[in-house]
């Protein structure tokens, strides 16, 4: 194949893009970077950049030859690579047609990198290459092209539509609606029908259903416009190549350790904006946890583990003594009191602090890896139990809050069980509670389910028990923030009422959680500390000024209302907990 295959990158990340005028109104802190603002995204940063020129990469160019052309020194390729890191993920992997920034000011100091590190020539996006992958590059052809190049089927339609819309008019760029569909609907140049003249079944948006049937592939040579679409499709993906995958979706990592700091997906602005936080201090991490930018019991545990590594690194830089370091680590562990994972994983990594920073980082990263791996085991075990308890399906499942990749890494816990059912063809639909007052179900779970093509409906929290009583669900599946030694479950407020309704309706109430969420040191639910959050989360904007709120973040579901708890290691049925 004459052209490099497009990596399976985050075209779907553009689905939550905001219009440029909306971006301008978003107040960002210096530690925040927007990673998906428009189709050809670049990071919005707060510092001034030097005056720049632009250069369109030509076939045969390397970063070294470009540096030689502009600065007279091929070793200055590293400077160009740094400036263009938003569009180049590998200095030996550039494409003809990419537009690079070339600062007018040369590097402040001579580069020490060798020229051989950036000698690979750019790959031309040529018409023959496009022809080899797909004959008629209409919308159908581009969908096929995206999949041939390694992209997921779920994002093929959006990838094709972005490419087509980008090439329709030189001045117009598509924005996206709340459903992720392009708002650019004029001057389309892709064929609305198959070659036979019959209307082609358009692939639905991934927010509503899986990709549908495509039109037939043909061998006719592509037009110039189609080849341009192909180029734009690849380049759109390249500009988002710095993003990472979670689950089957292309997005930034929910949580990562990069170059000595934490990167975390800011969950307070989803689904309307995809934004990562660059967390470099303990203060910033505690703020991210308490504000729910980082949330979900398993993710909190992983973040706490990375937080210990962050504290050690900050302490070395600022000259902390052992007392100060211990206090800062304690602040991380206490940032949210109900989720046991946070304190437990902080303690586990803190135990190796005396062995050096490298050992601390290794221990923290092991926690992150284990958190993701655990979720897959929970998902499969929980799905197998529900198929056994409820029949082969397809099942209707009711869930609460957010327990997917955003909260747990991997597939998630309760939402992971739902994903496993869906993958097995054993799921009919999901009912999602809003999860007031911060709407994690409406904002986050619906967002994840939509991107996975899983049919779902949103319900008011207060309506949930009645819906269960009317036979709208075959099972209820929730996560947990802490499970006491006797099986009592602390979870997002509103869980208890679902358990009561499930018992009355005679359907399973399943709790999916990792073993790390089970706290043998807490004898019963009455001993679990319940977080009381700010009045304003409930009172704003509707209540009169001065109204006080009773805003408990969690409730306790007694063990005798829980049909089963599924972990990565076992299935614990009602009555199997120690007295």
Omega before 437 cis (within 30°)? yes
Kindly tell me the burial class for residue 90, based on how many C-beta atoms sit within 10 Å of its own C-beta (0-12, 13-18, 19 or more): exposed
Residue 491 contacts residue 480 (beta carbons within 8 Å) = yes
Say how far residue 76 (Cα) sits from the centre of its chain: 35
CA dist 274 and 215 (Å) reads: 32
Residue 339 contacts residue 481 (beta carbons within 8 Å) = yes
Catalytic residues: 481
| Residue labelled with tokens 């052309």 | 69
- DSSP collapsed to 3 states, 331-354: HHHCCCCCCHHHHHHHHHHHCCHH
CA-only gyration radius of the chain, Å: 26
CA dist 233 and 142 (Å) reads: 8
Residue 237 contacts residue 9 (beta carbons within 8 Å) = yes
CA dist 31 and 278 (Å) reads: 5
Kindly tell me the burial class for residue 198, based on how many C-beta atoms sit within 10 Å of its own C-beta (0-12, 13-18, 19 or more): exposed
73 phi/psi in degrees, rounded to 5: -140, 110
CA dist 114 and 118 (Å) reads: 8
Omega before 461 cis (within 30°)? no
CA dihedral over 141, 147, 151, 153, signed as positive or negative:
positive
In 3D space, the residue among 483, 507, 485, 506 whose CA is nearest the CA of residue 557 turns out to be: 483
Q: Is 95 left (phi over 0), alpha (psi -120 to 50) or beta?
A: beta
């Amino acid at each position: 194949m004459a052209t490099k295959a497009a990596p399976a990158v985050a075209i779907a990340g553009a689905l939550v893009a905001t219009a440029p005028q909306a971006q301008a109104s978003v107040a960002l802190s210096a530690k925040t970077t927007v990673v998906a603002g428009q189709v050809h995204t670049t990071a919005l940063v707060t510092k001034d950049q030097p005056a720049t020129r632009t250069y369109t990469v030509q076939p045969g160019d390397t970063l070294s030859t470009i540096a030689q052309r502009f600065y007279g020194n091929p070793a200055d390729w590293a400077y160009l690579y740094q400036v263009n890191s938003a569009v180049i993920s590998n200095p030996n992997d550039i494409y003809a047609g990419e537009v690079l920034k070339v600062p007018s000011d040369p590097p402040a100091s001579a580069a020490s990198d060798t020229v051989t590190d950036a000698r690979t020539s750019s790959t031309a996006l040529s018409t023959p290459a496009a022809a080899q992958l797909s004959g008629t590059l209409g919308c159908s052809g581009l969908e096929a092209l995206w999949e041939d190049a390694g992209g997921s089927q779920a994002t093929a339609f959006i990838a094709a539509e972005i490419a087509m819309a980008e090439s329709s008019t030189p001045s117009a760029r598509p924005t996206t609606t709340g459903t992720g569909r392009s708002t650019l609907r004029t001057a389309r140049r892709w064929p609305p029908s198959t070659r036979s003249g019959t209307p082609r079944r358009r692939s639905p948006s991934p927010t509503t259903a899986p990709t549908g049937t495509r039109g037939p592939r043909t061998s006719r040579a592509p037009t110039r416009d189609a080849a341009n679409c192909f180029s734009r499709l690849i380049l759109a993906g390249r500009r988002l190549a710095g993003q990472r995958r979670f689950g089957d979706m292309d997005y930034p990592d929910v949580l990562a350790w990069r170059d000595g700091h934490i990167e975390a997906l800011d969950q307070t602005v989803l689904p309307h904006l995809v934004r990562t936080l660059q967390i470099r201090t303990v203060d910033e991490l505690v703020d991210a946890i308490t504000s729910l930018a980082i949330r979900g019991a398993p993710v909190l545990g992983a973040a706490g583990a990375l937080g210990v590594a962050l504290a050690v690194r900050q302490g070395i830089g600022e000259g902390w003594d052992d007392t100060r370091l211990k206090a800062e680590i304690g602040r991380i562990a206490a940032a949210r009191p109900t989720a046991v994972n946070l304190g437990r994983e902080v303690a586990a990594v803190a135990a190796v602090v005396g062995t050096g920073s490298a050992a601390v980082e290794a221990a923290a990263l092991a926690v992150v890896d284990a958190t993701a791996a655990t979720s897959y085991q929970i998902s499969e075990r929980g799905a197998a139990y529900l198929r056994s308890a409820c029949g082969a399906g397809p099942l209707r499942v009711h869930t609460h809050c957010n327990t997917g990749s955003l909260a747990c890494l991997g597939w998630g816990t309760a939402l992971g069980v739902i994903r496993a059912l869906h993958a097995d063809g054993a799921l009919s639909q999901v009912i999602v509670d809003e999860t007031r007052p911060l709407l994690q179900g409406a904002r986050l779970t619906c967002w994840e389910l939509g991107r996975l093509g899983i049919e779902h409906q949103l319900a008011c929290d207060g309506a949930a028990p009645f819906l269960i009583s009317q036979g709208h669900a075959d099972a209820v599946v929730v996560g947990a923030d802490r499970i006491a030694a006797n099986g009592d479950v602390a979870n997002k407020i509103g869980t208890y009422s679902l358990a009561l309704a499930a018992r009355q309706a005679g359907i399973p109430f399943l709790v999916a959680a990792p073993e790390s969420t089970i706290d043998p040191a807490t004898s019963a639910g009455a001993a679990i500390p319940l977080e009381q959050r700010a009045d304003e989360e409930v009172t704003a904007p509707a209540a009169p000024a001065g109204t006080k709120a009773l805003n408990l973040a969690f409730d306790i579901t007694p063990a005798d209302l829980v049909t089963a708890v599924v972990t990565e290691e076992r299935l614990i049925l009602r009555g199997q907990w120690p007295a």
